[in-house]
Structure 1
Amino acid sequence: MNKEIKKETKGIPGYESAMMEDMPKDEVERLPEDWQVSSETEKPGLAKGDIAPDFELTTLAGDTVKLSDYRGKSVMLNFWASWCPPCRSEMPHMETYYTDHKESDDMEILAVNMTKTEKNKEKSAKEFVKEYGLSFPILLDKDSEVMKTYQIKVYPTTYIINKEGVISDKLTLPLDDKMIKQLIEESNAE
């Protein structure tokens, strides 16, 4: 990841601890048993240089999507939940970037909702998408299988996957449109 991004994001106040502190108790109890907030030094899950595991999920619109369908494009694969404050802060930036670049043939945003952790399951995701006016594909991980495959421990977690299907970056913090643009450009340059 570019040093400028690290500098800009260093010190975002408590994005990890905010997830647990700001969540109602009943939502904390619905988290998968193996879910935990990671320390800043712990880097769970897949890493830069790993092949991104393929998966198949259904979108809110009812379409079936495979990650491999996007081979040849850079993919921003974002894991989120509607109850997550940092996720809520980054979604407008993701929408801005997507709206500005959706006609491009070289990138895609796939936002994987951790549906099993949502209070009202799929309904929570639909309400969130409507509230934020999101137009990029929202995938539903109803059984947390993709979350387990990617070993997601912190929300939001974002993987940048290059055109060959290799992870070019992993971030466990909220992104803004400037950071997203830079990450996608770096991935396209690989």
Structure 2
Amino acid sequence: MPAFLKRCLFVIPLLLSAAVAQAGVAVGDTPPDLLGKTRAGDVIHVGDMHGKVVVIAFWASWCKYCQQELPVLSGIQKLVSPQQLQIVAVNVDDHDTFLKLSRALGKVTPNLIYTFDKGPVSKAYGADTIPRTWLIDRDGKVAYVHVGYDDDTLHDLADEINGLLAKPAQPVASPSS
């Protein structure tokens, strides 16, 4: 095979994965409000967490990287008060699997909010691959987006979360009378 063709076969998947990473909710955007329902049926909204740093992680039972990321996120949540930081893990499995997993994971990582998505939430976010993680600042804007998970992700997440926690939320403007 010619060297040029080999380079193209290597570069094309990289370009495609970069394009996929760009799709959906991007840095600076206001994210979609709906994050799905909990096992108890409570509807979770980003807007209800204004003033907190919010981490939204899309995951599934079959995703080995998700299985590595969730305990890390739980460890981070243990270190920071839920009044300052809230991590929401949005599951994209079928509903029965979600119920089983969230029950089991709730015992191991009770400090995370687990929600279920039948598709509209992940579609609205552009989470067509997982794991995919969004960090929302205290003002409700997307500050960081992570596609995938590796050893460097832990350090990046910790640094980014610490940076976001150090910045106070802007006061919400009251409506003029």
Look up the SS of the partner of 1:40 in the other structure: helix
**2:86 aligned with 1:134, yes or no?**
no
Does structure 1 residue 90 correspond to structure 2 residue 66?
Answer: no
CA distance in 2, matches of 1:97, 1:144: 27
Residues 45-77 of structure 1: per-residue CA shift (max 9 Å, x gap): 111011111115221243332111101111001
Report 1:52-63 matches (<5 A): 52-55=31-34, 57-63=36-42
Larger radius of gyration: 2
Q: Hey, which of these two has a bigger chunk of helix by percent?
A: 2
SS at match of 1:180: helix
Select between 106-115 and 168-177 the one with higher mean Cα deviation.
Answer: 168-177
Q: 1-side partners of 2:56 and 2:27: how far apart? A: 13
Q: Kindly report the root-mean-square deviation, in angstroms, between the aligned alpha carbons of the 2 structures.
A: 2.5
CA distance in 1, matches of 2:78, 2:166: 21
Give the counterpart of 2:137 among 146, 156, 162: 162
Matches within 5 A, 1:107-118: 107-116=85-94
**Percent of pairs identical after alignment?**
25
Q: Which stretch has the larger CA shift, 153-162 or 63-72?
A: 63-72
User: 1:41: how far off?
Assistant: 1.6
Tell me by how many angstroms 1:177 deviates: 4.5
Distance 1:139 1:106 in 2: 20
Q: What is the TM-score when the length of structure 1 is the normalising length?
A: 0.69
Matched residues, number? 149
The whole-number CA distance in structure 2 between the counterparts of 1:128 and 1:180 is 25
**In the TM superposition, what are the counterparts of 1:30-179 in structure 2 within 5 Å?**
39-42=16-19, 43-55=22-34, 57-101=36-80, 103-116=81-94, 120-126=96-102, 129=105, 133-135=108-110, 136-141=112-117, 143-174=118-149, 177-179=154-156
Amino acid in structure 2 at the alignment position of 1:40: S
- 1:169, distance to aligned residue in structure 2 (A): 0.6
Unaligned 5+ segments in structure 2 are: 1-14, 168-177
Amino acid at match of 2:63: C
Shift of 1:111: 0.7
Q: CA deviation at 1:105?
A: 2.4
The structure-2 alpha-carbon separation of the partners of 1:39 and 1:104, relative to structure 1 and needing over 3 Å to count, comes to same
What TM-score, normalized to structure 2? 0.73
